[in-house]
Every structure is written in structure tokens, then in C-alpha cells.
Amino acid sequence: MPEQSPLELPEGDPFGPHNLPYGVFSVPGDPGDPGRRRLGVRLGGHVLDVGAAAVALGSPYAALLRQSSLDPLLAAGRTAWRDVRRALTAWVTVPAHRPVVEPLLHPLSGVELHLPYEVADYVDFYASEHHAGNVGRIFRPDGEPLTPNWKHLPIGYHGRSGTVVVSGTEVVRPSGQRKAPADPAPVFGPSAKLDIEAEVGFVVGTPSPMGSPVPLSAFRDHVFGLSLLNDWSARDIQAWEYVPLGPFLGKSFATSVSAWVTPLEALDAALVAPPARTHGLLPYLDDSAEEEPGGYDLRISVAINGHTVSEPPFSTMYWTAAQQLAHMTVNGASLRTGDLYGSGTVSGPEPGQRGSLLELTWNGQQPLELPDGKRTFLEDGDEVTLTAWAPGPDGTKVGLGEVTGRIAPAV
């Protein structure tokens, strides 16, 4: 019986031709060129060497695709993104291309995945009303859950691009200053409240000049796609340092992203309207007249050591990715190819939809019951995995890959 072609996928595979997320891979055992990084797209349980396919099939974009990074394609702009996506779809679906394409498909089990692009700047937002409300109720139980500015602008901070790492990278428990409210003075040591934040990261392709704000309508001209993101957080370090300037060492030690970037064009069927606005918005953030809705229906799952602890719905996010982009450039800040901005923790209205341990355990007061014991915050050796999918065309699912990280002891 002939072996089934990797181009023949099972019905309902979330990584079918309707998806085709981009990544960068190498083949450690390749005798001809071991370790060379190549641009690829995922198809089922395989990754296609798109540069080699482009050369073999005479693509005008061959020079762009035969690269060791996604950066050149990101910088090429929206027309190139659409043309390449159409070509890729044909390469993996048209029978005449099969003899060329099949030998260029590598099993995922035999490749190493890398960070797909060089992260230029990294910004993180605070866009979930449910998350922000929970945090407010935890730390300001006698006050308003949301700060006065929260419904008027997407709150954010600048992070550290150099510590953005690809899924599977070990995360070393950070050390720093900590001071509980009752302590007489701060102490130094490993974080005792190491946490996760289940987020979605948006990847900028086309840059913008300094001094030129990017309007809501130009979102898809600049943003190439999205990835799952885990914004690891040392809550005890963060609590002592963040007044008055915000997160710093409690966040900058590591941010993990998926090895796959899903192009926005693969997510058209997942577009949804954001939650109803309760406050009037200034014109640069007012999306009421935009042609397409700004929200995305992404279904996220959070697992600790293989046990699902939360399923946050991205559709509940109050601030959209387009609004975040407009806000972070409205002062004239420029965009660079490879800029990454995180949505902020994704949390829903139900207890089982909270995207951080801070919320899930109510700052340690309500420990989680896991098969391997109780958790308030992460312990050394714990492995956190975020996965997600989105509705695709004709009832399909679009897989968003995963982002995984295991906690190593402090050094």
C-alpha cells in the first residue's frame, strides 16, 4: 500500500491550506547543510521549505523567501504578503506541483524551530477589562477596579525585545528586590510569585516614519500576523518596583512567543466586533465607522504540566489590536519591521477564563488543585503551555500553534 502523501491531510486539520503559518526551521541531520535556517510554512505535521519551493517553481519572490528569517517578507509589504500567500496555497493544493513540493516537506519531529524574526521593539498592553478589573479588585478592594484612564486609552508599557524567546526555551526564575507590605525593608532573592500571562502578540511588517501616526484604517497595511505570547511575570518583584513608573525587572527577564506567525489573512473568518464601548472615544481611537470589526475570536487554553487550568476568550478584549497600534504611534513614534506588541493578559468573565495565576488563585488566596499538587504560583520544573485556535473558512479551525516554557531554578 503506497505511503500517504503529507499533502493529504485528515479532514479538519487546523494546519491545512487555509492556515499556512510562517516559521523558521533548521534540519539538524541534513547532510548537505546542517543547521541552516530556512523560512517555512506549516502544513499538518510537516513544514515546507518555502525558499526551495519558490526556486524550484520559478517564483518571482524566490529571493525574498530563500532567507533565514521572516524579516524580508515582513518588510516587503501587504501586496507581497498577499501574492506569496496565494502562491503558497497553490503550491500545496494544485496536483501538478506535488512532485516538486513533496520532497521539500520536512516532518516537524525532525526539525528545530527558531524565533521567526528579529524583534525590533516590544510593547505590552493591558486591554482586557476582565483582567484589569480582577487586578483592581485584588489590590484595591475598597476602590474602583479600573483606573480613571482605562476606558479612554489602551494602557501599555515598553518591554525588553532582547529577552523575547521562542517556544520551548527554558525560563530561569528571576531574582530581584521584594518587599511585602508588612516587611520593614526590601530583601533580595528569587521570585516567590512567578506567574504567566496568556496573551496574543501582533507582529509589525511595514514600518512607518517617525512623526507619522498610523490610523485605525491602516492596521492591516502594517501588521503582518499574530502569535501566541506568554508574558512571564514576577509578581513580587513587580509589586515593589512598579510605583511610579510601571513594570521593569518583574517582566523583562523573559517573554515567550510561538514559533509560528499566523498571517492576518488566515483569520478573516475570526473577525468579531469588540465589546460595547461604555465611554466615548477620541477620534483617533473611535472605530465605530471602520469597515471591518476589530476584534478576533481566538480560543486560548492554558495548561500547567499538561493539565488545563483556564480557557481565556480573546473576543472579550476591550481594546483591539488596531486601536493599540493607533495609540502607540499617535505621538509620532515610528514602527519598525519586527516590532512586537502584546495584547495584555486575556481573561474572560468566568473564573475558568482567567489568563494569569494572579487571578486564578486570587493572589495566592485560593490555590489551584492540580494532579501533582496545589499551586498558587509557578514552582521550579513546572511547564506552561498555551494553545489556541480560531474559526476558519467553511467551518474549519485555524490552529495558532503553541507557546511552551519550563521553569528552571534561579541561578
Cell of 394: 467553511
Catalytic residue among 130, 131, 222, 327: 131
- CB-based burial of residue 234 (10 Å sphere; 0-12 exposed, 13-18 middle, 19+ buried)? buried
Name which of 24, 207, 6 is nearest 91 in CA terms.
6
Report the C-alpha gap between 327 and 152 in whole angstroms.
Answer: 11
What is the greatest pairwise CA distance in the chain?
75
**Phi, psi of 294, deg, nearest 5:** -100, -5
Cell of 66: 530563500
Element (H, E) at 247: none
Distances (CA, A) of 128 to 62, 199, 321, 324, 386: 41, 10, 12, 12, 17
Cell of 275: 465589546
Is 131 an active-site residue? yes
Residue 370 falls in which region: left (phi positive, over 0), alpha (psi -120 to 50) or beta: beta
Cell of 164: 523575547
Alpha-carbon dihedral sign for residues 278, 284, 285, 287:
positive
The answer to whether 392 and 18 are in contact (CB under 8 A) is yes
Report the C-alpha gap between 248 and 76 in whole angstroms.
Answer: 33
Helix ranges (DSSP H) in 12-152: 50-56, 62-65, 71-76, 78-93, 98-101, 129-139
Distances (CA, A) of 370 to 264, 306, 308, 375, 379: 36, 10, 9, 7, 12
Residues with active-site annotation: 131
